[in-house]
Amino acid sequence: MPELPEVETMVRGIRAHVTHRPIGDLVACANRCKPINIKPTLARLRKRVVGKTFQAVRRLGKRVILDLSDGSSLAIEPRMTGLVLLADPPDVEHLRLRWDFDGPGQYASFWFWDRRGLGTVTLFDQAALKARFALGTFGRDALEMTADHWVESCHKSAREIKVLLLDQKTVAGIGNLYASEILHRAGIHPGVPAKSLTPDALERLTQSVQFVLNKAIEYEGSTLGDGTYRNALNQSGRYQNEHRVYMRAGEMCSVCGDEEIVRIVQAQRSTFYCPMCQPESKGSGRKSGSDRRGFKPSNRKTGR
């Protein structure tokens, strides 16, 4: 589940505590779980990182990138249930890797925890990292997408806009949860072909992406009903309390108050939207019942 806001929260949570500290050891945590994908092998990875320091911690799409002092970079991809943690893991049964630090510091180690075991840990040299995440093979970060970038990406694609938002080769960082939230705030029906979006709709999309993702980062991500996602200190995110449509099928829309949230399936993923706020009109050039920013007019109830 971790998407851009959750991974950005992970990065910000560990950055100050792991940078410029010598790595004393890297060990596999004892468990009976399916092994995660580690490249190179754990033994070779250990030889490569022990004695080095993390010079920087950053995010690429939905990946945590730790740049090492020898110029290589470690990429941690959480996938469905992965977490990077400094303390108090949700349980010890799903701890996968532990990096131990030499010398003083508030935290002696940090961990990679993964309940389902779909996460990956990969070491790249500089050339390989650049090639793997070059534009064209990997999308521009969602927070770096300008209106012009959205025009370019959408106008050459006949795919439904929700499906395009999930394509990491087009735009990096948006997943199923935030795609639904972004489109609701923008007043765009998820089934509209991307290339049919009007200039006004594309402007709303640009603003909505920035608003939703930055607000979710401010709230340290979304912790859903299964409680899996946690920040680096094993605390819940808070943005789930701001969700307008995601996992709210059958509930009345909190913006228009006139229609129930509907669930459909697109590209084998659940999509949630409001038929009133997101009318199925060509190009989503207009909205019904809401103002263009996704808020109710002042003479009607706003809801949550």
- CB–CB of 197/161 below 8 Å? yes
Q: At what angle do helices 199-218 and 4-18 cross, to 10 degrees?
A: 40
- CB–CB of 147/9 below 8 Å? no
Interatomic CA distance for residues 141 and 168, integer angstroms: 9
Alpha helices in the chain (DSSP H): 4-18, 42-49, 126-132, 147-155, 161-165, 176-186, 199-218
- CB–CB of 1/80 below 8 Å? yes
Interatomic CA distance for residues 262 and 288, integer angstroms: 16
Pairing of strands 54-60, 37-39: unpaired
Interatomic CA distance for residues 232 and 211, integer angstroms: 24
What residues act catalytically?
2-3, 62, 269
Candidates 142, 143, 121, 107; CA nearest to 232 is 107
Candidates 117, 294, 96; CA nearest to 204 is 294
Q: List CB contacts of 191: < 8 A, sequence separation 6 or more.
A: 160, 161, 162, 264, 266, 280
Pairing of strands 63-68, 54-60: antiparallel
- CB–CB of 278/284 below 8 Å? yes
